[in-house]
Amino acid sequence: MNQHALSVQDLVKTFDLGFLGAVPFLGPGITRRFQLKGIAQRVEAVRGITFSVEPGEVFGFLGPNGAGKTTTIKVLMGLIHPTSGQGTLLGAPLGDAQARARLGFLPEHPYFYEYLKPLEFLDFYARLFNLTHRERKRRAEALLDRLGLTYAKDRPLRKFSKGMIQRIGVAQALINDPALVVLDEPMSGLDPMGRKDVRDLIFELKEQGKTVFFSSHILADVEALCDRVAIMARGRIRSIGGLHELLTDAQSPVEIVTRGVEGAPREALAALAAQAREASGQQTFILESDAILESFLDQLRAVEGARLISVIPRRRSLEDLFVEEAAKADAADIQAHEGAPA
Amino acid sequence: MSQIFAIALNTFREATRNRVFASLILFAVAMLLLTLAVSSASLHEEVRLMKDIGLFLISTFSVLISIFIGVNLVYKEIERKTIFTIIPKPIFRFQFLLGKYFGLASTMLIQLIFMSTVLALIFWGLDANFGEEMVQALLLIYIEVLIVIAIALFFSSFSTPFLSGLLTIGAFIIGRFVDRILVIRLASKDEMTPALENVKTFVKTIAHIVPDLSIFNTTPYVVYEDPIDWSYVLNGVGYGVTYVIILLFLASLMFTRRDFI
């Protein structure tokens, strides 16, 4: 059986917030039973998502703010309990200690124990993995060296810059030489050099055969790094797949350039296309999707004297897809609200 | 075990590198030295006064520091999101909580030993006998501190530091006066109304739940050099440890269910 590096199935997370909601055991029950508004409120952060990440993949997890990305990651990391649904990490159910021993995680905007020096800091995390003293020291020194922090090893973390904090954060995520690395917005708040460092590091991890799962807003980085991506909006997965298939799927527009198509046949073909224009004796037709490409080409072949110059699938950018999916999710949500009985 | 030790060591480091902690201890030592000046003004009662005030200061400062750090132990990790990097590691949540507890418990032990040493040096300077009863009293103060830390950790496993602080101080004050609350008389038999009866039941129920901290105060025996039996001390240790285990169990139960948003 193929073992996923990470997977979730029908994952739902609803938060019970407010004064009562936060009380363990009693709060959520009281909220549900008496539907107390104001004192306690419910927020559906993740609304039934299913996806998996395969071993050795670099997987990008995208979505606008408030899409539910961080909540999903927190469920996977055992920081919050799912309302329903399941998940696996390295083939084991969520929460399995052996699987977590092979996991590395860097949260969004990390903050660390500022009174510790880098070697003490890494030693602390290494102890959580039961490593021997010698091994802890060796790994901590190697990671400081690899992330270019050796020069700052005698400084407490409170004197670290934001970029240095991010790098020491990456170091703690790699202290156990993990098989799966989960990074929540690893590039956020970094300058271009810092972003390049993180990008290089992800490439390096991929070369070592590790699985990398990361969420990001910076689409250029995602396009450069990922084998597959998932786009999440309003608590649901809107698109998932290889970057190539997502960006040139059946809905992608196609641009057709011809010569010698004039008069009535040109009008007939223009009626099929979303846009048509003519310049320098060439006709350009843009079809909304490649679904009607065959019938368009059949009609074109029937036109006497017509020459086909080119057929170019117009590749959408990841940004187009991202914006499109976010807008669709918003529209669906508004419709659901309007359709719901008052 | 390695995980609990790692968390405990980190908690110890955090507390001992905290400037507020250091200044509180310095203040307590200064107060002890000031007591020396005051007690020398009393007529031939220096040692008794030194014992009384010394134990009071050590106990009060230890409890205050325990509450101050104890209610923030878990909250700070959540607020600063440092817990986000710890929970995904191969560690159970109860191990994290125990690590925090032992970290503060060992910090308080060092603090107590330090202050006791200062007190012992003052005794040596006064050419007075520190005595077995002083050691017993200090041991019982430490057990009381262990209970207070457990109470603070229990409340802070599900509420804010401010509320946990108030609740812990409340439990501490009730605990110190349990023996008196249990024999309280609200009104004479004729004037007893059902409402007063309910208040009495409520107060007594609370007093039964809260640990009786009055048993850890042996200052009157120490001052009058009336030795306490070691079996009393051991009973106190057993009583305290039982309360600590129950409180840590309940705190773990709450903490395991919690979402770290």
DSSP code per residue over A115-155: TS-HHHHHHHHHHTTT--HHHHHHHHHHHHHHTT-GGGTTS
Nearest to A115 among B14, B83, B261 (CB): B14
Both A224 and A199 in one domain: the answer is yes
Rounded CA-CA distance A194/A100 in Å is: 28
CB contact under 8 A, A124 and B257: no
Q: State mean pLDDT over B190-208.
A: 81
- Note whether A192 contacts B: Cβ–Cβ < 8 A: no
How wide is the angle at C-alpha A264 spanned by C-alphas A278 and A258, nearest 5°?
40
Residue A37 confidence (pLDDT): 52
The parent domain of residue A240 ranges over: 52-247
Which residues 92-151 in chain B show a CB within 8 A of chain A?
A: 92
Q: Which of A245-254, A309-318, B105-114 has the lowest mean pLDDT?
A: A245-254
In this prediction, residue A137 carries a pLDDT of 95
Q: What are phi and psi of A13, to 5 degrees?
A: -135, 120
- Residue-by-residue DSSP string for chain B: -HHHHHHHHHHHHHHHT-HHHHHHHHHHHHHHHHHHHHHHTSSS-HHHHHHHHHHHHHHHHHHHHHHHHHTTHHHHHHHTTTHHHHTTSS--HHHHHHHHHHHHHHHHHHHHHHHHHHHHHHHHHTT----HHHHHHHHHHHHHHHHHHHHHHHHHTTS-HHHHHHHHHHHHHHHHTHHHHTT---S-GGG--HHHHHHHHHHHHHHHHS--GGGG--HHHHHTT-PPPHHHHHHHHHHHHHHHHHHHHHHHHHHHH----
Q: Could you report the per-residue pLDDT of A166-209, keeping only the tens digit for each?
A: 889 999 999 999 999 999 988 877 888 888 888 898 999 999 99
What confidence score (pLDDT) does residue A246 get? 77
Report the chain B residue with the minimal C-alpha distance to residue A156: B17
- Are residues A185 and A299 part of one domain? no
pLDDT score at A216: 85
Q: Indicate whether A186 belongs to any domain.
A: yes
Average pLDDT taken over every residue of chain A: 85
pLDDT of residue A249: 62
Interchain contact A74–B (C-beta under 8 A): yes
Listed range (A18-27, A89-98, A173-182, A311-320) with the worst mean pLDDT? A18-27
Asked if A180 and A297 sit in the same domain, the reply is no
- Local confidence band at B222 (pLDDT 50, 70, 90 cut-offs): confident
Residue A248 pLDDT class (50, 70, 90 cuts): low
Residue B149 pLDDT? 96
Mean local confidence (pLDDT), A22-46: 60
More confident of the two residues A215 and A249: A215
Establish if A43 belongs to a structural domain.
no
Instruction: Answer left, alpha or beta for residue A63, where phi above 0 means left and psi between -120 and 50 means alpha.
Output: left
pLDDT band at A134 (very low <50, low <70, confident <90, very high): very high
Per-residue pLDDT at A20 exceeds 90: no
Residue A42 lies in a domain: no
Q: Which residue of B has its CA nearest to A83?
A: B259
pLDDT number for residue B108:
94
A277 and A197 belong to one structural domain: no
Going by pLDDT thresholds of 50, 70 and 90, the confidence category of residue A25 is: low
The percentage of chain B sitting over the pLDDT mark of 70, rounded to a whole number, equals: 99
How many Cβ atoms sit within 10 Å of the Cβ of residue B10? 25
A132 and A113: one domain?
A: yes
3-state secondary structure of A203: helix
Ranking A19-28, A175-184, B53-62 by mean pLDDT, the lowest is A19-28
Q: Has residue A28 been placed in a domain?
A: no
Confidence (pLDDT) at A63: 86
CATH code at A184?
A: 3.40.50.300
Are residues A225 and A77 part of one domain? yes
Q: Is residue A22 part of a domain?
A: no
Q: Which residue has the higher pLDDT, B181 or B212?
A: B212
Residue B182 has pLDDT above 60, yes or no: yes
pLDDT band at A106 (very low <50, low <70, confident <90, very high): very high
**Which residue of chain A is at minimal alpha-carbon distance from B258?**
A24
Same structural domain, A188 and A118: yes
Residue type present at position B85: T
Residue B103 near residue B9, CB atoms below 8 Å: yes
Higher pLDDT, B125 or B3: B3
Higher pLDDT among residues A114 and A336, named by residue: A114
pLDDT of residue B219: 85
- Mean local confidence (pLDDT), A22-31: 53
| pLDDT for residue A18 | 60
CATH number for the domain that contains residue A289: 3.30.70
* Arithmetic mean of pLDDT, B158-187: 86
Site from B74, B75, B83, B89 to mutate, A interface, most A CB atoms within 10 angstroms: B89
Domain total in chain A: 2
Bridge partners of residue A106, in order along the sequence: A183
pLDDT of residue A342: 40
CA B162 to chain centroid, in Å, comes to: 17
Q: Give the closest of B10, B18, B88 to A124, CB-based.
A: B10
Residue B3 contacts A, CB cutoff 8 Å:
yes
Instruction: Tell whether A135 and A220 lie within a shared domain.
Output: yes
One domain for residues A203 and A240: yes
Whether chain A has a CB inside 8 Å of the CB on B6: the answer is yes
In 3-state terms, what secondary structure has residue A266?
helix
Share the mean pLDDT of chain B.
88
| Same domain as A241, residue A285 | no
| pLDDT computed for residue A288 by the predictor | 82
Question: Is A192 exposed, middle or buried, given 0-12, 13-18 or 19+ CB atoms closer than 10 A?
Answer: exposed
| Domain-located, residue A6 | no
* Domain annotation covers residue A341: no
CB contact under 8 A, B84 and A77: yes
Q: Of the candidates A80, A129, A169, which has its C-beta nearest B259's C-beta?
A: A80
Higher model confidence: residue A26 or residue B101?
B101
Is the Cβ–Cβ distance between B13 and A115 less than 8 Å?
yes
**Confidence category of residue B227, pLDDT binned at 50, 70, 90:** confident
Mutate to test the interface with B, among A96, A113, A168, A188 (most CBs of B within 10 A): A113
Among chain A residues, CA nearest to B158: A23
Residues in chain B: 261
Quick one: A185 and A237 in the same domain?
yes
Q: What is the mean pLDDT of residues B140-157?
A: 95
pLDDT higher at A55 or B187: A55
